[in-house]
Homo-oligomer: A and B are copies of this chain.
């Protein structure tokens, strides 16, 4: 029983170090972790540059396997120390942790898959928790909330845009034809997206007068309708943030509300707040 107890204690200790950042050990662990992630991503990136790979290839492979084994060990420890392992494994961070080590093993079969290791960048999201950047998380939540409450409007907008690029893309395919680079409808739709989002690579561009006319129309539409998502998000943000800066305190005398945060007296009856 003492043994089981000491195992339990050891697991709690481990959990504290790996999952929390309140103790010095936990904080140190998280900082080392983030540095390791950054270094391993750097190694993956450098490995993709032909000149560097040629010269330092063997070192980079060693680094890659070192970090992968380290992260594998960490993943096993997380699994061992957490109360409900299955819940961790299916959580967002659990999946990211797993996806951050698989590609290296996978690269034994498909070599280029190892570049997918950059998914490790998602692990850095933990930095917000580690460095107690709670305020940033709060701001992020405000943004996500504003986007979520305008979700339906954005869906309608996206549906409209997709319908337009399908129709305009096909029209351009018929007008310009395969000799001008519009070799198929999917490719023409790709062109329509490139144009409507005002990216404009120029790898495909209309050559006939009619095509250029239609392209001009698409551009002006794309230039104009960017106002719609912007308007949606802005109106949503203005609405939800306006509620914030007024105190929820009611006057004890006349019960009036809507006082500023710095008010010390009711602005309607003058009694002390």
The answer to whether A36 has its CB under 8 Å from any CB of chain B is no
Say yes or no: B223 contacts A234, CB within 8 Å: no
Q: A116-B171, A119-B167 are in contact. List 11 more A-B contacts (CB 8 A).
A: A50-B178, A118-B169, A118-B185, A136-B155, A161-B220, A190-B212, A190-B215, A198-B198, A200-B200, A226-B226, A227-B234
Say yes or no: A197 contacts B219, CB within 8 Å: yes
The answer to whether A260 has its CB under 8 Å from any CB of chain B is yes
Interface residues of A in 169-203 (CB under 8 A from B): 169-171, 173-174, 177-178, 183-190, 193-203
Q: Which residues of B contact A166 (CB under 8 A)?
A: 41, 118, 121
Say yes or no: A50 contacts B212, CB within 8 Å: no
Say yes or no: B49 contacts A186, CB within 8 Å: yes
Beyond A143-B153, A224-B154, whether A122 also contacts B219 by CB under 8 A is no
**A interface with B by C-beta (< 8 Å):** 41, 44-45, 48-50, 112-113, 115-116, 118-119, 121-122, 124-125, 135-136, 139-140, 142-143, 146-147, 152-158, 161, 163, 166-167, 169-171, 173-174, 177-178, 183-190, 193-203, 205, 209, 212-213, 215-216, 219-220, 222-224, 226-239, 241-242, 245, 259-260, 262-272
Q: Which residues of B contact A212 (CB under 8 A)?
A: 186-187, 190
Q: Which residues of B contact A183 (CB under 8 A)?
A: 49-50
Say yes or no: B260 contacts A265, CB within 8 Å: no
Q: Which residues of B contact A171 (CB under 8 A)?
A: 116
Q: Which residues of B contact A203 (CB under 8 A)?
A: 202, 205
